[in-house]
Structure 1
Amino acid sequence: MEISELKTLISLVETGSVTATARELNRVPSAITSRIQQLEDHLGIPLFYREKKRLIVTSKALELYEYACQIVKLVNTAELNIKTNCPGGKFRIGALESIAATRLPLPLTKLYEGVPNIELELITGIRDTLYNALINGQHDAILIGDAPFDEKLERVTAFEEELIIIASKNHTEIKKPHDIKSSNILVFREGCSYRDRLLNWYHSFNSYPKRVTEVTSYHAILGSVAAGMGIGIVPKIMFDQFSNKHLLSKHAIEGPLGQIKIELIWKKGWLSANIIALQSILAYQKYPKIE
């Protein structure tokens, strides 16, 4: 079925007249009759009964009319969005789990309020997974830290995170690896920027953890550390929002390893209206460095 045929059907149902439809669509009456006949031939059913010069709408025509209205409206919306580059439609965002849980709820709510017809897809993962997905065209934009430099990408800083080491409740102060009682660290799999930073912190003291346990969520890290299974690294905001933080102790990471910039990143030349809209909201929020 062609869009022109559906528009003709819509007009015929609404006007009930070939002449009125021809006038509305700026066509000759014979062209209107021809389009409807082609549509009927394609479907294999009559859409209108002819009684002298009158057209009587069938139940199937009314059913198709409802679909046609939706289809034409969708096509018109798509054309408008593409031509005017207005935000809307599908928007695929990749983000670190910690960012999705703590930083994005408010901005995405604002985005929905400002762009009601947007269709958000939020996918969480670790840095390397999200980065590769962006390169492969699976995401429109990502929010990660410590992204490798790539001239094919564009980026802006969204906000800064303070990273901290967490340990069990009564753990003594941690300033260097020698102060840690447990030989186990709880981290995400390789490719996680926070894991890299914790291991680099160990390396800065010419040390290395005896055991690395990989987990799949920050709730697992927080809960396992609270149970005394080892130490971990998390953004301070996640610790602050953890309901059982009274079971943990927090320890600052001195120097640049304890501060990480989270960037909004997209492919060069692919700056869409959706990315601009999200970028403006993030800038408006003015996320400060967490103290």
Structure 2
Amino acid sequence: MNFTDLQVFKAVVEEGGIVKAAHKLHRVPSNISTRVKQLETAVGVPLFHRDRQRLHLSPSGELLLGYAERLIGLSEEARHAVSGAAPRGLLKLGALESTAASRLSGILADFHRRYPDVHLELSTGTNDMLVSAVAERRLDAAFIAELPSARGLAHLPAFRESLVLISCPDHPPITSPGDAEGQSLIAFPHGCAYRRVLQRWLKRESLATLRVLELSSYHAIVACVAAGAGIALMPEAVLDAMPQALVRRNRIPRAQSEMVTPLIWREGEVSPPVLALRTLMALVAKGLARKREGRRMKTGR
């Protein structure tokens, strides 16, 4: 199996056809067609279903694409590691809205200064949406809210989050699920990890029987809670970034409120930009550990 044939195959898939792949690779279409046929001969199965001028990946093609991406990614990683060249290319990064709003601004600014040749695209979504996007190669890496259960995903602890239950200022303190009885819940749509935490705290198998107002913005959630529309669970770091928010903060048990935000990527498929991001996060983690150690030494704990 020829490595160049795999690169051509990947380009045909990404560009959606022979002609566009030829333009991207600066080759003539006939050369691209020949390369694809050579690869099909080498593996012994059709990689595309041909419909007039259009190509559709066959099941075997789908399977080979995953291996091709891993091999090409490893090749790039090895080349950059040996040459010592700074990483370059596109990094498709995902994050929870809360993480993007409260944690990433300084880190991404630092990343941009360190690696100016990496073009960064940041997308936000729910925990489950981001996990699927990484697993399906629509994102290279993502900051999520729970350790991934999907096979084939590696992770690195990134941030510690403390969740807090918020209510309108004149609501009596909420210390148990019973205190929240009759309240509407304001939460992100299905797939949000914090929504699942709220469900567990309420000791509910489902939220289907409760009134749930689904919003996709923390600013909107805080505004609705402040107006008395219901209660919500959110990271305290996000709330700290909204000093104008007029809400009551209610604590829930640490077993449910303390969470770790991991950075995830596909195991064995570390492109140079993802490797650079992982390295930066490791430096951030070391810096935070040094600060914590310094505080402990000052307090004698």
Compute the TM-score of the two structures, normalised by the length of structure 2: 0.64
Structure 1 residue 95 corresponds to structure 2 residue 95: yes
- 1:279 correspondence with 2:275: no
2: CA distance between counterparts of 1:154 and 1:80? 19
Once residues 131 and 183 of structure 2 are traced to their aligned partners in structure 1, the CA distance between those partners, rounded to angstroms, is 31
State the match for 2:256 in structure 1: 257
1:203 CA displacement: 0.7
**How many residue pairs align between the two structures?**
211
Separation of aligned partners in 2, 1:280 and 1:256: 30
Call closer, same or farther: CA 1:110–1:214 in 2, change over 3 Å.
Answer: same
Residue 84 of structure 1 is matched in structure 2 by 80
- 4+ runs of 1 displaced by more than 3 Å? 79-82, 204-209, 286-290
Match of 2:194 in 1: 194
Q: Is the 8 A contact 2:76 2:272 kept in 1?
A: no
Q: 1:114-139 CA deviation, whole Å, 9 max, x = no partner?
A: 11111000000001111111111100
**Letter in structure 1 aligned against 2:90:** K
Corresponding residue for residue 231 of structure 1: 231
State the Cα distance separating 1:243 from its structure 2 match.
3.4
Q: Percent identity?
A: 33
Which whole-Å CA distance do the structure 2 matches of 1:171 and 1:137 have between them? 45
Are 1:134 and 1:142, in contact at CA under 8 Å, matched by a contact in 2? yes
Deviation digits for residues 10-52 of structure 1 (CA, Å, limit 9, x no counterpart): xxxxxxxxxxxxxxxxxxxxxxxxxxxxxxxxxxxxxxxxxxx
Change (3 A) 1:103 1:174: same
Q: How many angstroms does 1:151 deviate by?
A: 3.0
In the TM superposition, what whole-angstrom CA distance separates every residue of 1:216-270 from its partner, at most 9, and x where no partner exists?
111111110011100001100111111322x101011113210111101011111
Kindly report which structure 2 residues correspond to 1:108-187, keeping only aligned pairs within 5 A, or say none: 108-180=108-180, 183-187=183-187
Q: Between Structure 1 and Structure 2, whose CA radius of gyration is higher?
A: 1
The 1:88/1:82 distance shift into structure 2, 3 A limit, reads farther
Name the SS of the counterpart of 1:203 in structure 2.
Answer: coil
Contact 1:176 1:205 in 2 (8 A): no
User: Residue 170 of structure 1: CA displacement?
Assistant: 2.2
Q: Aligned pair in 2 of structure 1 residues 93, 205: CA closer, same or farther (>3 Å)? A: closer
Q: In structure 2, what is the Cα distance between the partners aligned to 1:180 and 1:216?
A: 22
Aligned to 1:282, the other structure's residue is in SS state helix
Aligned partner of 1:58 in structure 2 is: none
Aligned alpha-carbon RMSD (Å): 2.7
Deviation at 1:279, TM superposition (A): 2.1
Task: Structure 2 unaligned segments of length 5 or more: list them.
Answer: 1-74, 293-301
CA separation of 1:233/1:82 partners in 2, compared to 1, >3 Å: closer, same or farther?
same
Tell me the SS of whatever aligns to 2:259. strand
Q: Secondary structure at the match of 1:274?
A: helix
Counterparts in 2 of 1:209 and 1:168: CA distance versus 1, 3 Å: farther
CA distance in 2, matches of 1:94, 1:205: 29
Gaps of 5+ in 1: 1-78
Higher strand share: 1
Q: Distance in 1 between matches of 2:125 and 2:244?
A: 24
Q: Is the 8 A contact 1:202 1:208 kept in 2?
A: no
